[in-house]
A = this chain, B = another copy of it.
Amino acid sequence: MKRKITLKQIARELDVSISTVSKALRNSKEISEDTREKVQAFAKLYNYRPNNIALSLKNRKTKTIGIIIPEIVHHFFSKVISGIELVANKRGYNVIVGLSNESFDKEVINMEMLANGSIDGFILSIAKQTLQQQDYHHFSETISQGMPIVMFDRVVNDIQCDKVIVDDVQGAKKAVNKLVENGCKTIAIITTKDYVSVGKLRTQGYLEALDENKIHPEASLILKVDDKLVSEDYLDILEREIEQLFQTNKKMDGIFAVNELYAITAMKVARKQNKKIPDDIQVIGFTDGVLSKHATPSLTTVSQHGQKIGEKAAELLIHKLEHEDEEEQFQTVIIETELVERESTK
């Protein structure tokens, strides 16, 4: 079990100084060709690689990006990571992941763990609990210490930083418009309580689309699910609420759900009630995950392009890291949504 070899050891073996070895390996013209070859051969033989930690300390750069997300077992977030990792690696960066589990405390702790030198900057999506408490001091402190942050998806206006978001309003409008085009007259929305910004925005898009199509919105067609309950019987409760929705709205012929799970569950309920999809009722979801693609019938969704979001976020962060001299100015990039049509719509 030989430890990794260092410059010092090479220097000792070859009876030259550490500086000479370092320069020889970097092909400095200061070193004679003789010595250079000798050193390089020796280094190659012992498979020398510069120690990253020492480099990080010296350069005060770690070439590592910290990601904080609410959970990783989630198609959208893992897509985003995948995108971040892609461009990060291409530009010589590593990626270190922290999970907040939607908890404020874990978000803070995780950020503190990473902020002390381990990384050069953050890419993050805010935990639900943080959004509720509206306590963002950990973000502003991090930024004021000179560590850039890029937020994606779940962002907040109070913090000055780069952001990558999806046009939720527009995406929702695309979905509802599609339903209208396809002849739906009574369109429901299954959404979340308002403190989740994306739920709120998608609801807004739904209302705007109805308005533009001169359809009068009805309270009974708007189902706001409390997504705080993550218990075992969450699914049951969800299903029952949706059944209720069907009961009170017999003429309902279109459903827009703000996520995959709600949409899938709606289809399940529809089937139970012997409604044919898409003939009797059409369904559109949001977020293009595995469920949408493999459900039967497969689900028409508004795709958010998670991978692209990750790529863009990484680009923004790396740009900021490598152009610190430029004057601070923050941008908010909007990734276009796309309506992916499948079998759940006509």
Chain A residues proximal to chain B, CB less than 8 Å: 1-4, 47, 49-54, 56-57, 62, 64, 71-75, 78-79, 81-82, 85, 89, 94-99, 110, 112-118, 141, 144-146, 261, 264-265, 267-268, 271, 289-291, 294-296
| Residues of B with C-beta under 8 A to A97 | 81, 85, 95-97
| Residues of B with C-beta under 8 A to A115 | 49
Q: How far is the CB of A307 from chain B (nearest CB, A)?
A: 8
How many copies altogether?
Answer: 2
Q: Choose among A79, A117, A267 the residue with the greatest number of B CB atoms under 10 Å from its CB.
A: A117
| Residues of B with C-beta under 8 A to A118 | 52-53, 64, 94
A–B complex contacts, Cβ < 8 Å, 14 sampled:
A2-B145, A3-B145, A4-B145, A4-B146, A47-B141, A53-B53, A72-B72, A73-B78, A78-B78, A81-B97, A96-B96, A261-B294, A291-B291, A295-B295
Q: Which residue of the partner chain B has the closest CB to A54? A: B57
In contact, B99 and A114 (Cβ under 8 angstroms) = no
Q: Looking at the complex, which one of B53, B74, B89 makes contact with A57 (CB distance below 8 Å)? A: B53
| Residues of B with C-beta under 8 A to A82 | 71-73, 99
Evaluate whether A51 and B296 lie within 8 angstroms (CB atoms) in the complex, with A4-B145, A71-B82, A73-B82 already known.
Answer: no
Q: Looking at the complex, which one of B96, B114, B146 makes contact with A3 (CB distance below 8 Å)? A: B146
In contact, A294 and B85 (Cβ under 8 angstroms) = no
Q: Which residue of the partner chain B has the closest CB to A307? A: B73
| Residues of B with C-beta under 8 A to A296 | 267-268, 271, 295-296
Q: How far is the CB of A78 from chain B (nearest CB, A)?
A: 5
Q: How far is the CB of A304 from chain B (nearest CB, A)?
A: 14
Evaluate whether A94 and B113 lie within 8 angstroms (CB atoms) in the complex, with A53-B56, A296-B268 already known.
Answer: yes
Q: Which residue of the partner chain B has the closest CB to A99? A: B85
| Residues of B with C-beta under 8 A to A53 | 53, 56-57, 62, 117-118
| Residues of B with C-beta under 8 A to A52 | 116-118
Q: Which residue of the partner chain B has the closest CB to A1? A: B146
Q: Choose among A54, A72, A74, A265 the residue with the greatest number of B CB atoms under 10 Å from its CB.
A: A72
